[in-house]
Structure formats: structure tokens, C-alpha cells
Structure 1
Amino acid sequence: MQFPESWLREFCNPPLTTQELADTLTMAGLEVEELAPVAPAFTKIVVGEIKDAVQHPNADRLRVCQVDVGQGALLTIVCGAPNARVGIKVPCALVGAELPPGEDGKPFLIKVGKLRGVESFGMLCSARELRLSEDHGGLLELAHPAPLGQDIREHLQLDDTLFTLKLTPNLAHCLSVYGIARELSALTGAPLKVLEFAPVPATLNETVPVRIEAPDLCGRFSGRVVRAINPRAATPQWMVDRLARCGQRSVAPLVDISNYVMFELGRPSHIFDLDRIHGGLQVRWGRAGETLKLLNGNTVTLDEQVGVIADSAQVESLAGIMGGDATAVTDDTRNVYVEAAFWWPDAIVGRSRRFNFSTDAGHRFERGVDPEGTVEHIERITQLIIDICGTGETACAAIDDTRVRMPQAEPVRLRVARAAKVIGMPLTQAQCAQALAGLGLALTEEEGVITVTPPSWRFDLRLEEDLIEEVARVIGYNRLPTTPPLAPITPRLRAESRRSPFAVRRALAALGYQETINFSFVDERWERELADNADPIRLLNPIASHLSVMRSTLIGSLLQVLKFNLDRKAPRVRVFEIGRVFLRDASVPDSDTTVQGYRQPLRVAGLAHGAVDQLQWGRPDTAVDFYDAKGDVQALLAPLLPVFEPAEHPALHPGRCARVLLDGKAIGFIGELHPRWCQTWSLPSAPVLFELEMDAVLARNVPAARPVARRQLVERDIAVVVAERITHDQVVQAASSALPAELLRSCVLFDVFRPRPLRDGETAPAGALAQGEKSLALRLTLGSDDNALTDTEIESAMARVLQALAAQTQARLR
């Protein structure tokens, strides 16, 4: 919300400086985001009138002007503006004037100069040269009544300040200059100007029939016919200036009047071309397949969720959002219909976003606009139309006011003791009552309780906490005492069997991964494709149409990060995220930390793409694969020993995907991205991903002391031949099952050998491995804490290992 300080002070003018005024509003919850001068500093620029303008004798594009600045003698000024002509009044910079700084940041001083042989005693200025606008098409022409010699800052009221407020959604009553003045009066005690709207005499007996078919859309609809106007009249400069200082460009007088009243009183309205309305108006919900061309030139397709105003032939406008092109006023309009309505906020909220635009009207209506002011505001609009666009034949009809369903104010109780406890300072009932009454709230008092009936412009006052906030705002947040909290402090000590999430982050960072933080709501397509989730948890009010469901996996978020980096030519990407996923679970109760029916576990997921290492000379440049990511997962879980078993996952490549298990319990997945999704996401190669349950990653075994072996350990190497289908885990498990853990200290694979394919006609040499076989070399470490192992015990142990391998994996000694 942007407005000039001078307009605010017309309604309420407390004895405060500009900065004090801004501080007062900010400390009352109306945050002043920016203070900016209307115009930059400049001096000695006055109103001048061109009395004579002749062609420069030595330049085709220059004119020699005689300018009257109220000093008696005319000033000779050479000017190159195309609109320099006799009779216009323009800003004139006198000799010694200082203009706003240019692009170099230095002020521009006006001196006596000579242009093509003619002396010039000043400068005639454009709006751009004064930094009032970007218009550089010619001199800034002033209204003819401007007094000669008057300082231009005084004439254009440039010694003003623009206030930009950052309002929260509950402060809809402050989306107007008068609404802010009402707040300022309550905060400072300065008198508030009472608005009076004298009824415009009705001389026409004419109405436009209005039928409200949707009371849940529109509760009140007021309108008036005005005939014989002049839409080509010029908008007064004072109105143009005020609109510009509110950030609104002047369009045409009728549009400017509607916008002006909206900024002044917070009332969006619409002016129809009466002659383009067919029959009466219906206020209803849209119908599937209907289309409407809007004032901004867009054509939108409607449905039953959008409110409209229609006539007997077509839809005329989007209710509370934007008018239609069919009944828009033009330079040929002679008769108009002025409309002001009350639209229910729930019927307007979110509708603009469906069509990818927003309007000032929709912004106000979806927060709430006073339903009681429609008639008075139409009177204000009518009077401005007559004053600006009126002709000798202008006439208006009586206001037709249709009420079908108006909001009913529900009384709200405020307990003074509760307010004092929440605010954190002693309060009396008199203080609370004075603060609420100053805001214009009707109230009744009992012992320790104040009952407030909210006025029609306060849609936000529904709970006791709302009234407590109002009391705090009026008293002033800066007056709240600084009181340190008093509470018993109980340290939350982490169990020794768990590590902190920070330790997980640090471990992944040490492995070369960078952390990302993403939204918990994602595209529904990700859930369907990457998680095989046909029924995701949907958001009631998503912030964007493509972020409509809660994620049940972190994979989609990481793929989005990968795609973003690859689009920017990142050669190597390693990222991870620690975040919650959201799953349906009927067993979850409702509590302070849970939502009934929904489980929200914390997970950690990682993604690797590109080269294994950064560019370097010591190793060949190889792409990251499944085993690199597997090593990272093992390092992350160490000293726990995970087991990997083949599995399937909707997002991962069949045959290149594994389930991660700890103590026989599945804790996540690891694998390459499915080729189908690589193609969908336009990835040059498949990334490797993993996703693990965070609780399992945080778990750690409590360290237990073990004595150092007093006897020397024994190492034995064996090579066994097994079928290609036999996995490393099967071989290790078979070997480990043959001996007790006290004897077999470790079993490590250190070599794999496969025969090369035979050429056509070639036969394998005797004793060679057959096709479909492989050789695995294992190193077994044996030891005993009681005594040194003898050769007999060692040979017996190795024999049992070979027997177990033969029995469980059909292995034979190579």
C-alpha cells in the first residue's frame, strides 16, 4: 500500500514529524517498508510562461523564447523542446538553480550560457529533467492558473513523502488512506475527519434490474444510472498526481475516479457503459465453457467456481476481480452504470491466481471490504463524475440497493486478566476499553470482561486473541517490558547410542555431498511416477498449481536440483537432503507433534551424477556408478554393517537397485535412476540415488571395550569357483556360518576373476573356468584369545569353510 503523506494528513494530522509518523505506524503493526520523497532535491525552479518563441537564427531545432517568471523583465532562454510555444506555463530553472543529479551523481548547475551565438539565461524543464517521471517528450506543461514565479515545489506539492506499507492479510481495513487515518487517530488521539457524502439529487426514474442468484457470492449490490457525461474530459491534475503517488497511472477520467475512490476509501467499484448492457444484470456463479474477454485483453474460460456479473446476452465481468471488455467505458460512452457491491471474501480468494494475474480490487475483496458503505461510496463516485465529466445535461437516477445476505457481527469477549497474561504487562480494564474504543469498536463492560461488537469494516476480529492484539497495538509494542523468562531448565541429553543430525550432515559433506533444502510439497506427477503413489496427500490451498501434494519420497526434490544444475552446465553434482516425507497411516494419533492419520518420518537422501572425482591427473575420469554410492552409504552407516539385497523401486533401474538392510530390517533403497525417468527429465546419464530412514542412520552401537589379541592372528587365502549367479554376500555368509565369530575374525574378498569369452572355434584349455563361472579369492583371518592356533586347527577350520561353501554355494576349490 503506497500513498503520499499529505493525503493522510488531510484526514488525520497529528503533531508528529514524518519519521515519527512512520515509527508510530510501524510499532502498531502497520510496517512502513519505505519512505521516499516525491521528488529529488532541486532549487530555484519556478513557474514561467512563454510569451514569445521564435526560430533560432543558427539552429533548426532550437527556439529563442521570452519567458515571464514574474520578475518584470522577460528572460531570454534557448530551448529545443518540440512543444515550446507561446502561452504555455512550464518549470523554469533560473540562473544559479541546482537540478537533480544526473547519471554521474553530480548536481547540475544552471549558468548563463551561449547556444549557437544566442545567450540563454536559464532552462525550461521537462518532467524527466526534474526526475518526476521518465517522460522526455517535451516540456512539463503546467495548469494555466499557476502563479508566475511560484516555486515549482510549492506549486506541484513536491515537498511530500511517499509511504509504502507492508500490511499483513488481517489488516484489510488499512488498504485505504482513510483506513490508515482511522488507525492513526486511535494511536495518537488526533481528531479524525468525519466523511460526509451529500446525496446527489436524483432526476431520472430509471434502474437497471439486478438479480442476485448466488447469495454465497454477493451479499449486497448497489448501482446507479448516470446519463449525459463527457468521457473525454481531462482528469484534474490533483487527481492524476495523487494516483501517481499511489503507484497508479492515469488512464481516463471515469477509470481514474473509480481508482481514486478505491485508494481513498478502500472501496473497489466498477463503471459500466450503460448502452452496452443487454437487459438486466445477474450476479451468479460462472458456467462451464463460458468465456470472457477482460479489460486487460486476456480471454479466460470460466467454470462453476468463479463468480460473474452477466446480462441477458453474455458475461460482463469477473465478480470482484476485473471488468469485461464488452461493457468497458470508452471515449464514446455517454451513459454509465456505477456499481459497488459486497463480495464474500471466501468467494473471491484464490480466483485471480487461477487466471495468472492479480488486481487491486481482488486483493481487497478477498480480505474483506466494508459491506455497509456501498451507497455512500456511490454518492462519492457520482459527485466526482459530475464535477469532472459533467455536462449541462448530466443527470442521475436514484441508487438501487439490493441486499440478500449481509455478514452478522458476532460479539467477542476480552478477559482483561487474560490480555495482561498474553501481552506480558499489567493492564487495567480502563486501558483496554480506551484502546478498543479509540479504534471505533462498540463495546460493553462487565467486571474484568469487555465485550466488543466488531464494526462492519473489521473482518478480522473473531477471537479473544484478535482483541488482545488490538490492545497491544494501540498501547504500543515499544512500551512492552523486557522480562526474561522464568522456567526450569532441563537439558535434553542425547543417548550415547544415537548421533546428531549434524553429524550426519558433516559425514555426507566429508564424502563430497552438498546439502539442499526443498519444499515438502511437490508436483503430483512426481509422486505418481517416482513413488508409485496414486493417492498422495493433497494440499487444500497450494501456493502454486504444480506444488499440490505432500511428498512421500525425497527423490523428486533431488532430481529437480540435479536438473537445475545441469541446465547451468554443472559437470559434477553431488547433493543430499534431510527432510520429512508424508505418508498415510491410520495408526498415528493426534498429539502436539503428530497429525492423526499421517506419519511424517525423517529421511536422508543423496544423489551423485557425473565424474567420481574432481578433475585431476592421478586417476582416469570415470563416471560415478552404483558401487560408488554404495560405498558412500557404507561410510555413512559405519561402524554398522549394512546388507544390500536386490530389490525393485518405481524410480530406480531394475537390476541396478538394492534394498538396504540393518539387522535384517529394511531402512531404504539405493540404485540408478530408471532409464524412463532419465528420458523424461532429459538427463544425459543416469544418476545414482539413495534414500534411508533417518532413525536408522542416527543409530549407533554403544562402544564396548575389547582386549587386544594376545596371540598372533593367522591369515589364509582361498580361491573358489562359483556360478556367476552366486553373489559375494552368499559366499561370505556361507564361510562365516562354518566357524564361530571368536575363531573367524574376518572374511574379505580381494579378487574376482572371470574367463574371457571364447572365439569362434576355440576350445577352453584343460582346467580352465567354464563360461558362466567366476573365481572369488577370499582372505580369512583366524584367531583365538585362549591359545595359539596349531596347524591342525587351522587346516580343520579351512576344511569346514570349504565344506560350507560347497554345500551352500556349490563352490569348488580352484
Structure 2
Amino acid sequence: MQFPESWLREFCNPPLSTTQLADTLTMAGLEVEELQPVAPTFHGIVVGEIKSAEQHPNADRLRVCQVDVGQPELLTIVCGAPNARVGIKVPCAMVGAELPPGEDGKPFLIKIGKLRGVESFGMLCSAREMKLSEDHGGLLELVNDAPVGQNMRQHLNLDDTLFTLKLTPNLAHCLSVYGVARELSALTGVPLKTPVFPVAPVTASDVLPVKVSAPDLCGRFSGRVIRGLNTQAKTPAWMVDRLARCGQRSVTALVDISNYVMFELGRPSHIFDLDKIHGGLDVRWGQPGEQLKLLNGNTVTVDSQVGVIADAVQVESLAGIMGGDATAVSDATQNVYVEAAFWWPKAIAGRSRRFNFSTDAGHRFERGVDPELTVEHIERITQLIVDICGTPQTQCGPMDDQQVAMPAKQSVTLRIARASKVLGMPLTQAQCAKALMGLGLPVVEGDGVLTVTAPSYRFDIQIEEDLVEEVARVVGYDNLPATPPQAPITAKVRPEARRGEFAVRRAVAALGYQETINFSFVDERWEHELAGNPNPIKLLNPIASQMSVMRSSLLGSLLQVLKFNQDRKAQRVRVFEIGRVFLRDASVTNSDTTVQGFSQPMRVAGLAMGACDAPGWGEKERAVDFYDVRGDLQALLAPVQATFVAAQHPAMHPGRCAKVVVHGVEIGFVGELHPKWRQSYDLNQVPILFEVDLDAVLAREVPRFKAVPKFQAVERDIAVLVDERVTHDALMAAIWQASVDGVLRDALLFDIYRPKSSALAAGQAAEKSMAVRLTLNAREEAALTEAQIEAAVAAVVATLAEQLGARQRV
């Protein structure tokens, strides 16, 4: 919310500087986000009146003007503005004046100049030249009664300051200049100048029939008919200036009056063209399929969840949000209907966002607007309409005020002891009562308690803690004591068998991957194609159509990053992400960290594409393959030994995909992207991907002490013939299960040999030879004997024969 300081001081003018005033509001919870001068620094510009304007003898587009600036002699000034004419009053920069800096940052100094042979003793200014606006179509025309020779900063009050407040939703009563002044009065003790609402004399009997059919939408509806207006009347300069300093441009006199009262008193209102209303008005919920063309030019379709104001023929307005184009006032309007209503906040909240726009009126009504002052505020609007647009034929009808469902007054009790405990400082009952009464809250005192009946404009006061907050705001947050916590603070120590997420990030980054951070909202297509999830968790209100579901896999996000980089000619991409996925799980119950029916585990996923290593002169470039990424995954999981088992995954190549198993538990997948998805996503190289549960990566074995053997290890090589279907994992599992009395230290497969098909006998099953190097060493204080070595090797061969049907190759 933006407003000028001078307007605020008209209601409450404490003896504080601008900075002190801003600090006072900020420390009371009304954060002053920005202080901005109305105009930049300049001097030497005064009000001048053009006494004559003759054509320049040597230029068609220039005029030689004689300008009165309050000095004994008129100034001769050459001007090229199209609106330079006799009789108008404009800003005049005299010789020696300094205009605001230009694009080069240097101030512009006015000197005596000569234009096409005619000397010019100054410059007539536009609003843009004084940095008041971007309008440079002509001179800035001032009001007719502007004092000639008066300093422009004084005349236009350019030493004013614009306040921009960043208000929280509970401070709806401060969404007006008067509302802020009311808070300032309570904070400083300076009297508040309460506005007076003179009652307009009723000179006509016209009453527009209004029916409130939805009390749960509108609790009070007030309005009156005004006839015989001149809607082409010009908005006064003072009102245009104040609206501009509130960030609102001038439209027409009637629209400006409505906006002015909204900024002044916080009351949004609407002015209908009376002659365009068919019959009467009906305040009701919309009906499915009804359409309305709004003042902003958009046509919207309403339903039963949106409030409307309709006449006998059509919908004329979105209740509490925006009026319709059909009944909008225009230059031809002569008779109007002015309405001010109380709309229930819950009936307005979120409605404008359904149509992808927001309005100042909706912003206020969905937070709460005072229902008690609709009549008084219409009187204020009437006063301004009659003063600005009135004619001898102007007539005001009687006030029509329908109170159908006014909010009940609610009493809230504040315990003094409770307030002291919450704020951490001693408070007296008198101190709390003074603070609340200073805010305009009626207080009934009891024994150690205060009972407050919230005023009609304070929708935020509902529980005791709201009153505690009000006391704290008046006392001043900066005056609250700094009290250390009384409970002991114990650092949460991570178990030694678990590493932190940052350690995992550093480990993956050390392998050459770069971290990415992506949205958890993804395209539904990714879930169907890459995650094989036919029923993803859908968002009720997605921020974009391509972000409509919650992801159950990180792979889609990484592929999007890959596509983005490939489109920018990146030849080598290695990225990873640690993030949360969202799965349906009926076993999950509600808790502080979980949502019933949904599991939200963390995962780590990576993608590699392009060259295996960065280009180098000493190595031949090779594309990254499955085994490179599997090696990265093994390094990430180390010292835990993972096994990789051939598997199927919707996103991965059917023959180049493996599931990752740790301690018999499946923790994820690694593999090459499926060819059809590579083609679908238009990727020019094959990416290798992996995705595993983060918890499995965080777990690590605690190192245990083991004495270094004192004797040299012994190596023995064995080669066994096994069925073609025997895997490396099965071979190693059988070797480690052999009874070797603890002397086996390591086993390494170093060769696989497949005989030519012609060497196989007819009908013989396909076999392969697998050569393994066994490393043996004794635990006791002695070297292995030849008998122990032979026994260990024989035990391994026997176990392989028993479990895998292996035959030792000789």
C-alpha cells in the first residue's frame, strides 16, 4: 500500500521526522518497505504565466513567449511545446536553475541560450523534465489560481515522501490512510482527526429496488440514486495528485472519487449508470454458465461459487471484485446509483484469482471491511460527487440501507498474567488497558483480566493471543526484553553409522556431477512414461499446465535439464539431484512430518551423457557407458558393497538396466535410457541414469580395527567350467560360502572364456570358463602351509561344484 506522508499527517501529525515516523510504524508491525521522495532534487523552477506567444521568425515549430514569473520584467523564453499558449500557468526554470539529473547522472543547468537567433532566458518545463512522470507531450499546465512566482516544490508539495507499507493479512484495518493514522495516533498519543460525514439533503424520492438473495454473500447493502450530474467534469488537481501518489492514475471524475474514498477510508464502492440498469438489482450467487464483460475488458463465466450483482436481464458486477462494462459510467452518464456493501470475507477470498486477476477492492474485502460505516461512506462519496460533478439540476435520493446478516460482536478475554508470560516481561493491568483503549478497543476491566469487544473493523481479533499481540505492538517490539530460552539446548548428534546429506552432495560432486534443483511439480507425461505411474498425485491448483502432478521419480527432472543443456550445444552433461518424491501409501499416518496416505522419501539421482572424461591430448575420447555410471554408484555407496541384478524399468533400456541391491534390499535402478524415450525427447546421445533411495546412501558401516597380517599373502588361480547362465554374483557368493577356515581374504574374477561352438559336443549345453584369483592369508602367528592352501582351494572348488555344478578346468 502506497500513500503520501502529507495525507497521513492531515489525520494525525505527531512531532516526528519522516524517518522516525517510518520507524514507529515498522516497529508496530506496519512494515514500511520503502520511503521515496515525490520528486528528485531540483531548484530554480517557479510558477510562470504565459502573457504572449508569437511565432518564431526563423522556425515553424518554435514560439517566442513572454512569461511572467513575478519579477518586474517579463522573461523572453523560446518554447517548442505544442500547448504553449497565452493565459496558461506552467513551470518555468529561470537562468541558473538546476533540473534533475539526466541519463548521464549529471544535473542540467539552465543558461541563457540562443535558439535560431532569438535569445531565451529560461525554459518552460514538462512533467518529464522535472521527473514527475513520463509525460512529455507538452508543458505541465497548472491550476488557474497558482500564485505566479511561487516555488514549484512548494506549489506542488514536492518535498513530500511516499510511504510504501508491506502489510500482513491481519492488518486489513490499515489498508487506508485513515486506518494507518488511527494506528499512529494510538502509538504516539497524538489526537486523531476524525472525518465528518455531512448528510446530503434528500431532494428526490427515487429508490432503486435491491434484493439481497444471498445473506451468506452480502451482510449489508447500502445505496442511493443521484440524478442530474455532469460526468464530464474534470477531476480536481488535488485529487488527481493524491491518487497518483497512491499509485492510481486518474480515469474519470466518478471513478476517481470512488478510488479516492477507498484509499482515504478503506471502503471500496461502485457507481452504476442508473439508466443502464434493467429493473432492480439482485445480490446473489452466480448461476453456472452466466457471463459478464468486466471493466477491464475481460469476459468471464461465473458459477455458483462466485457472488454477483444482477439486474432483471443479466449479471452486472462481480460482487466485491469488479464492476461490469454494461453499467459502467461514461461521459454520457447523467444519473448514477452509488453502492457500498459489506461482503463476507470468505465469500470473496480467492474468487478473483480464479479469473487470473486481482483488484484493490477484492484485496480489501477478502480481508474484511468495516460493515458499520457503509452509510457514512456513501455520504462522503455523495459529498464529493456533488462538489465535483454537481449541477443546478442535481438531486439526491434517500439512503437505502439493508442489513440482512451483520457479523455478531465477539468478546475476547485477556489475562494479564498470560500476557506477561507470553511477552516475557512484567505488565500491569493499567498498562494493558491503556494500550488496548489507545487502539480504539472498548475494554471492560475485571480482576486480572480485560474483556474486549472487537470493533466492527477489527476482523483479526478472535482469540486471546490477538490481544497479546496488540499490547506488544503498542509497548513496542524493540522494548521487549531479550530472554534466553529456559529449556536446555542439546545439539542433535548424528550417529557415526550415518553420514549427512551434504557429505553425499560433496561425494557426488567429486565424481564430476553438478547439482540441480528442480520443482517437485512435473508434467503428467513424465509420470506415465518415465515412472510407469498411471495414477500420479494431482495438484488441485497447479501453477502451470505442465506442472500438474507431484513427481514419483527424479528422472524426468534430470532429463529436462539434459534437454535444456543439449539445446544449448552442451556436449558433455553430468548432473545429479537430491530431492523428495511423492508416492501413494495407505500405511502412512498423519504426524508432524507426514501426511496420511502419502509417502515422501528422499532420493538421489544422477545422469551422465557424452564423453567419459573431459577431453585431453593423451587419451582417446570415449562415450560414457553403463559400467562408468555403475562405478560412480559403487564409489558413492562405498564401503558398502552393492550387487547389480538385471531388471526392468519403464525409463530404461530393457537389456541395459539393473536394480541396485544392498544387504538383500532393493534400493534403486541404474541403466541406459530407453531408445523410444531417447527418440521421443529428441536426444542426440544416449544418457545413463541412476536413482536410489537416499537413506541407503546415508547409511555407512562404522570402521572396525583389524590387525595387519604379518605374513605374505598367497594367491592361487582356479578356472571352472560353469553353465552360461551362471552370473558373477552367484559365483562369488558360492566362493565366500566355502569352508576355508577363515583364510580367504579376496576373490577376483579376471577372465571369462567361451569355447567355439564347434568344440561343443552335439546336444551339450553352452558353457563358459570363469577364472578366479583367490588371495589367502592366515590369522594366527604363522605362515600358511601348503596343506592349508590346498585344502582351502579344494573347499572352494567343492562348493562351486555343489552349488553351481562347476567343473574345474585343467
TM-score bracket for this pair, using the shorter chain length: over 0.9
What is the aligned counterpart of 1:779 among 758, 769, 773?
773
Kept in 2, the 8 Å contact 1:78–1:115? The answer is yes
Taking a change above 3 Å as real, the CA distance of residues 711 and 526 of structure 1, as seen in their structure-2 partners, is: same
Q: 2:375 aligns to what?
A: 375
- Alpha-carbon separation, structure 2, partners of 1:618 and 1:213: 85
The farther-off stretch of 25-34 and 713-722 is 713-722
- Counterpart of 2:145 in structure 1 is 145
Higher deviation after alignment, 721-730 or 537-546: 537-546
Offset from partner CA, 1:747-766 (integer Å, 9 cap, x none)? 223345678xxxxxxx9664
Q: What CA distance in whole angstroms lies between the structure 1 residues aligned with 2:310 and 2:525?
A: 37
Distance 1:116 1:127 in 2: 25
Q: Distance in 1 between matches of 2:527 and 2:406?
A: 43
The equivalent residue for 2:222 is 222
Q: Unpaired runs of 5+ in structure 2?
A: none
Question: In structure 2, what is the equivalent of residue 51 of structure 1?
Answer: 51
| Corresponding letter in the other structure for 1:664 | G
Corresponding residue for residue 429 of structure 1: 429
Q: Distance in 1 between matches of 2:415 and 2:544?
A: 40
The separation in 2 between residues aligned to 1:346 and 1:569, in whole angstroms, is 52
Mean alpha-carbon deviation: is it higher for 580-589 or for 505-514? 580-589
What does 1:197-276 correspond to in 2, within 5 Å? 197-276=197-276
Q: Say if 1:300 and 1:355, in contact at 8 Å, map to a contact too.
A: yes
Change (3 A) 1:113 1:463: same
Q: Deviations over 1:153-189 (max 9, x none)?
A: 1111111000111111111111111111111011101
**What residue is the counterpart of 2:89 in the other structure?**
89
Q: Which residue of 1 aligns with 2:484?
A: 484
Contact map agreement 1:276 1:326 (CA 8 A) in 2: yes
Q: Structure 1 unaligned runs (5+)?
A: 756-762
Q: Deviations over 1:604-659 (max 9, x none)?
A: 33333444333433444444443333222211211111222233444544444433
Partner of 2:413: 413
**Paired residues of 2:723 and 2:767 also in contact (CA < 8 A):** yes
Residue matched to 2:324 = 324
Aligned residues: 807
Aligned equivalent of 2:120: 120
Work out whether residues 740 and 795 of structure 2, in 8 Å CA contact, stay in contact via their aligned partners in 1. Answer: no
Answering whether residue 154 of structure 2 is matched by residue 154 of structure 1, we say yes
1:632 aligns with 2:628: no
1:450 is the counterpart of 2:450: yes
**1:103 corresponding residue in structure 2:** 103
Q: Is the 8 A contact 2:208 2:280 kept in 1?
A: yes
Deviation at 1:396, TM superposition (A): 2.3
Contact 2:740 2:791 in 1 (8 A): no
Distance 2:457 2:567 in 1: 50
> 1:537 offset after TM fit, Å?
5.7
What is the letter of the counterpart of residue 39 of structure 1? A
Amino acid at match of 1:410: Q
Secondary structure of the corresponding residue to residue 393 of structure 2: strand
Deviation string, structure 1 residues 66-123 (Cα, Å, up to 9, x no partner): 1111213111111111111111111011111111111111111111111121111111
Question: C-alpha separation between the residues in 1 aligned to 2:116 and 2:684?
Answer: 67
Matching residue's letter, 1:245: R
What displacement does 1:805 show?
4.4
Q: Distance in 2 between matches of 1:116 and 1:528?
A: 76
Measure the CA separation in 2 of the matches of 1:399 and 1:523: 55
1:645 and 1:741 map into 2 onto residues whose CA distance is 30
Query: CA 1:563 to 1:315, structure 2 compared with 1: closer, same or farther past 3 Å?
Result: farther
For the aligned residue pairs, the C-alpha RMSD in angstroms reads 3.0
Aligned to 1:617, what secondary structure does the other structure show?
Answer: coil
CA shift in 2, pair 1:379/1:695, >3 Å: same
Q: Which of 308-317 and 613-622 deviates more? A: 613-622
Query: Could you tell me how far apart the structure 2 residues matched to 1:596 and 1:663 are?
Result: 29
Q: CA deviation at 1:286?
A: 2.5
1:606 corresponds to: 606
Counterparts of 1:13-24 in structure 2, within 5 Å, are 13-24=13-24
Shift of residue 417, structure 1, vs aligned partner: 1.5
Equivalent residues in 2 for 1:507-526, closer than 5 Å:
507-520=507-520
Secondary structure in 1 aligned to 2:387? helix
- Show the counterpart of 1:504: 504
Cα separation, 2, equivalents of 1:719 and 1:749: 10
Q: Contact (CA 8 Å) 1:711, 1:785: kept in 2 or not?
A: no
- Greater displacement, 4-13 / 550-559: 550-559
Could you say which residue in structure 2 is the equivalent of 1:3? 3
Q: Does 1:403 align with 2:397?
A: no
Pair 1:784–1:564, CA change in 2 (3 A): same
Over 3 Å counting, the alpha-carbon distance change for 1:507 and 1:110 in structure 2 is same
Query: CA contact under 8 A between 1:286 and 1:308: conserved in structure 2?
Result: yes
* Higher deviation after alignment, 88-97 or 565-574: 565-574
- Amino acid aligned to 2:479: R
SS at match of 2:329: coil
Counterparts in 2 of 1:675 and 1:359: CA distance versus 1, 3 Å: farther
Q: How does 1:786-805 map to 2 (within 5 A)?
A: 786=780, 787-791=782-786, 793-795=788-790, 797-802=792-797, 804-805=799-800
Distance 1:321 1:263 in 2: 16
Deviates more, 1:780-789 or 1:192-201: 780-789
- When residues 780 and 95 of structure 1 are mapped into structure 2, their CA distance, relative to the original with a 3 A threshold, is same
Q: Which moved more, 1:448-457 or 1:647-656?
A: 647-656
- 8 Å CA contact 1:411–1:451 kept in 2: the answer is yes
> SS of 1:371's equivalent?
coil
What secondary structure does 2:48 align onto?
Answer: strand
Q: How many Å separate the matches in 1 of 2:741 and 2:665? A: 22
Separation in 2, partners of 1:238, 1:574 = 63
Q: 1:767 to 1:652 in 2, by over 3 A?
A: closer
Take 1:694 and 1:792, find their aligned partners in 2: how far apart are those partners?
Answer: 47
Report the CA distance shift for 1:315/1:716 in structure 2 as closer, same or farther (over 3 A). Answer: farther
Quote the sequence identity (%).
73
| 8 Å CA contact retained: 1:3, 1:163 | yes
**2:723 and 2:765 in contact (8 A); partners too:** no
Conservation of the 8 A alpha-carbon contact between 1:220 and 1:401: yes
In the superposition, relative to structure 1, how do residues 385 and 672 fare at CA in structure 2: closer, same or farther (>3 Å)? farther
Question: Which residue in 2 is equivalent to 1:280?
Answer: 280
Residue 714 of structure 1: aligned partner: 714
Question: Greater shift after overlay, 52-61 or 708-717?
Answer: 708-717
Which region of structure 1 is more displaced relative to structure 2, 164-173 or 646-655? 646-655
SS of aligned partner of 1:256: helix
1:563–1:313 distance in 2 versus 1, CA, 3 Å? farther
- The 1:752–1:454 alpha-carbon spacing in structure 2 relative to 1, beyond 3 Å, is farther
* Contact 1:45–1:94 (CA under 8 A) maintained in structure 2: yes
What SS does structure 2 have at the residue aligned with 1:114?
A: strand
**Equivalent-residue separation in structure 1 for 2:291 and 2:685 (angstroms):** 45
Work out the CA distance in 1 between the residues paired with 2:678 and 2:200: 70
Counterpart CA distance in 2 for 1:85 and 1:141 is: 10
**Relative to structure 2, which stretch is displaced further, 133-142 or 801-810?**
801-810
Aligned partner letter, 1:783: N
| Segment drifting more, 195-204 vs 251-260 | 195-204
Cα shift at 1:392:
1.9
Structure 1 residue matching 2:66: 3-state secondary structure: strand
Written as runs of structure 1 = structure 2, the 5 A alignment for 1:457-468 is: 457-468=457-468
1:39 partnered with 2:39: yes
Q: Which amino acid in structure 1 is aligned with residue 616 of structure 2? A: Q
Q: CA deviation at 1:272?
A: 1.7
Counterpart Cα distance in 1 of 2:523 and 2:438: 48
Scaled by the length of structure 1, what TM-score is found?
0.92
Deviations 1:549-569 (A, max 9, x none): 655444444445445555555
Partners of 2:466 and 2:72 lie apart in 1 by 64
Q: Relative to structure 1, is the Cα distance of residues 694 and 251 closer, same or farther in structure 2, using a 3 angstrom cutoff?
A: same
CA distance in 2, matches of 1:424, 1:494: 33
Other structure's SS at 1:393 match: coil
Q: Compute the displacement of 1:230 (Å).
A: 1.8
Cα distance, 1:584–1:73 mapped onto 2, change above 3 Å: same
Of the structure 1 ranges 435-444 and 366-375, higher mean CA displacement relative to structure 2 is found in 366-375
